[in-house]
Homo-oligomer: A and B are copies of this chain.
Amino acid sequence: MVKYPSGSSAAFRKSIDKEKNQPKTTQNKNISFSDRGMTLEQMINESNKYYRINEIAVVHKKPTPIQIVKVDYPKRSRAVIKEAYFRQESTTDYNGVYQGYYLDFEAKETKNKTNFPLKNFHEHQIIHLEQCLKQKGICFTIIGFTVLKRYFVTPANEIIKAWWTKNKSSVTLAEIEAWSIEIESGFQPTLPYLKAVDQFIANRN
């Protein structure tokens, strides 16, 4: 909230440092995770932070849309929302910019080993991806098979086609393998999904 008239680069560095040193507790609070490791969402959030800090890309997860009905403003302490409801989302969870390209994607994980149920994607997400494709965005999904520890970056058009196919309730692992670029999870970033994006850009040009 405060405007620091301390000159661009120093304050910018300070802010980046702040982000680097931030404890992870606030983020983790909202995410259910087991001690086996990070959820796909956590992996992507960590990767986005890495990409952001290293000025490789600017991608954020969108907040969950909430309809606020009642807020209390207690004296000498911050506002408390006392009644609110979850609203229907109208987009995917992630978007951002990478070397001038618009990125838009949805991430989902499954415990299945041989197929991915299409009901994991909601109609509004599919329609949003279609709209962004028409605007020449780079649109994809990240599907994680958590038990297999395998992660796939799949061009949105394949998922859209499958989703609208009559009586098709899931895609097989083999289909996903055929359509996607597989990404191995690593250390920095945790899930280097931009490697797949680089391929999509190379194929486009």
Contact = CB atoms under 8 A, between A and B. Distances in A.
Contact of A80 (B85, B123, B135): B85
Interface residues of A, number: 68
A37 to B, nearest CB: 24
Given A128-B58, A164-B7, A166-B7, A64 B67 contact: no
A101 interface: yes
A84 B137 CA distance: 34
A203 interface: no
Contacts of A82: 82-83
A34 interface: no
Given A26-B67, A55-B134, 19 more contacts: A1-B123, A2-B123, A3-B118, A3-B163, A4-B123, A5-B167, A58-B135, A60-B90, A60-B91, A66-B68, A66-B81, A79-B85, A79-B86, A80-B83, A81-B86, A82-B82, A97-B135, A97-B137, A99-B136
Contact of A66 (B63, B95, B169): B63
Contacts of A99: 135-136
A148 interface: no
Nearest to A3: B119
Interface string A57-87: 1101011111110000000001111111111
A173 to B, nearest CB: 20
Given A62-B63, A97-B102, A84 B81 contact: yes
A14 B3 CA distance: 47
A63 B60 contact: no
A55 B131 CA distance: 7
Contacts of A83: 80-82
Nearest to A1: B122
- Which of A12, A101, A135 has its CB near the most chain B CB atoms (within 10 A)? A135
Interface string A7-51: 110011001000000000010011000000000000000000000
